[in-house]
Amino acid sequence: MKINKLYISLFLSAGIALQGCKDNNFLDVPSRERVEAEDSEVIYTPEQFINGVYGMFTSWDYSFSYIGITDMLSDNGDKGSAVTDAGGDKLSLDELTYTSTTGSFKSMWVRWYKSIGRATQAIEYTEKYGLTDEAYKNRLVAEARFLRALNYFYLVRGWGDVPIQDRDLIKRESASEVYSYIEADLQFAIDNLPVKSAYAAKDLGRATKGAAQGLLSKVYLYQNKWQQAADMAKTVINSGGYSLEKDYATIWRLAGENGPESLFEWQARGTSIALGVKQYSQVQAPRGGLVKLGWGFNTPSENLLNAFNAEHDNIRRDATIIFRNSTLYDGRVIDAGVENAMYNMKAYSSANGGADYTDKNVRYLRLGEIYLILAEAANELGNSSEALNALNAVRTRVKLANVTTTDQAQLRQLIWKERRLELAFEHDRWFDLIRTKQAKTAMAANGKTFQDKMLLFPIPEDQRIQTPEMPQNPGW
């Protein structure tokens, strides 16, 4: 049984909060999801409203559309599954032939804006509720603002200029303005959230000061704000609240959930096996053979396997990839009859056994990435010594030799490579390729043609039909 987890309130995730909604009004979330106390005999607490924001991460969208536009697009992941199963739009994502009508973009555009709307509603409700404990009220607001920032971070990285929902539902604000909005939310979160160790056991998994600091360091990284990124990353590293998991493979097992390296995870809920992120493990689990664990989508690419092997990085390779005809750490045999040669180990749930739901947490942000943020930022600032120390802390864990070069250009490439190997299948590879301007070269090396218009996702066509005055991204 899973205990001491953040239990997400179901009534907001799947019940009354969605009554009367019209799915085509993508951005007008507050008008569709507002739950006023007078609408029911039950008075919902601010904490229940906040729980409903966390609950958005457990949606089916994160099991299929999300992995499509983060991993399958990139050189790390292939569509996988059966050759005859296109997975809806997943084959077009894998082959980079997607368009503005590709459904996964619409699904995540809607999901992220609905989450933002719910967070804003929770903030307003909490502020007006009449809580007398100011610190508690601010903590709840800070949790919602952290979650709102996280969702906007996906939107701005994917689409660039996007509407800021509580200002205008159609006008696309500049990416720099969206980033400023994100930074303000995260700074409030930093100022008002407790550290991870200060939460009671029942609240394990809620947003923390360290999570907000870590996310802000990443937000700075994506804007090339090197000094701010380095400073915030060092704040997390030097806080004493986190440490690298000694065994890299443990991070994605039950023993690693909410572990010493974890800054923020999307929490599974209930007793094993129950709820959690709907079908996240099943969709990516080995398909066919004697095991029949899942659908087999989002499989590691040969390109990624070659990258691990070229670095002699066996530890991270074997913690990231399930191989056909192998025995897993829990004794489960993946026989020779499975459909694909490789599967995503980081999505594997030992207890799941092919069930629709899984109790597996999805790791969102961890200390290993914070070290790599510091390494990259320090290198760009000309501080090769600090960059090497941070980079080699990550490499030492997986028994790889220290990097020693102080040449900035060479070190930059090595840090980018390290990000790929360390963070494979943690849903950031596509955004990293765009950010570092490696996308065209990397995708060509993976046998795919990257077009300049792919620097940004297309605004979903259904959104454009609803709001034709909203401009489309270039080329789409």
Q: What average pLDDT values come out for the chain (476 residues) when binned by 10 residues? A: 30 31 43 43 87 92 96 98 96 98 98 97 96 97 98 98 96 98 98 96 94 98 98 98 98 95 87 67 95 96 98 98 97 97 96 80 97 98 98 98 98 98 98 98 97 98 96 98
- pLDDT for residue 353: 84
Q: Count of residues for the chain?
A: 476
Do residues 88 and 348 lie in contact, with contact meaning Cβ atoms separated by under 8 Å? no
Helix (H, G, I), strand (E, B) or coil at 317: helix
Whole-model pTM over 0.75: yes
- pLDDT for residue 278: 81
Tell me whether residue 20 is in a domain: no
Do residues 350 and 332 lie in contact, with contact meaning Cβ atoms separated by under 8 Å? yes
- pLDDT for residue 429: 98
Q: 355: domain range?
A: 255-261+270-303+317-359
Do residues 446 and 301 lie in contact, with contact meaning Cβ atoms separated by under 8 Å? yes
- pLDDT for residue 109: 98
- How many of the other CB atoms lie within 10 Å of CB of 288? 17
- pLDDT for residue 281: 92
Tell me whether residue 146 is in a domain: no
What whole-number distance in Å separates Cα of residue 441 and Cα of residue 75?
A: 10
Tell me whether residue 290 is in a domain: yes
Whose tokens are 């609408």? That residue is: 39
Amino acid letter, 441:
T
Residue 183: name the closest of 241, 137, 139, 229 by CA: 229
Do residues 464 and 100 lie in contact, with contact meaning Cβ atoms separated by under 8 Å? yes
Tell me whether residue 84 is in a domain: no
What whole-number distance in Å separates Cα of residue 279 and Cα of residue 265?
A: 17
What whole-number distance in Å separates Cα of residue 244 and Cα of residue 224?
A: 25
Tell me whether residue 280 is in a domain: yes
- Give the count of domains, the chain: 1
Helix (H, G, I), strand (E, B) or coil at 472: coil
Tell me whether residue 93 is in a domain: no
- pLDDT for residue 270: 56
Token pair recorded at residue 199: 């939460």
- pLDDT for residue 359: 73
Q: Which string of b and e fits 315-330 if b means at least 16 CB within 10 Å?
A: bbbbbbbbbbeeebee
Amino acid letter, 146:
F
Please give the angle made by the CA atoms of 19, 142 and 6, to the nearest 5 degrees.
65
What whole-number distance in Å separates Cα of residue 213 and Cα of residue 183?
A: 10
Tell me whether residue 434 is in a domain: no
Tell me whether residue 473 is in a domain: no
Mention every residue, 6+ apart, whose C-beta is less than 8 A from residue 411. 379, 384, 387, 388, 391, 403, 405
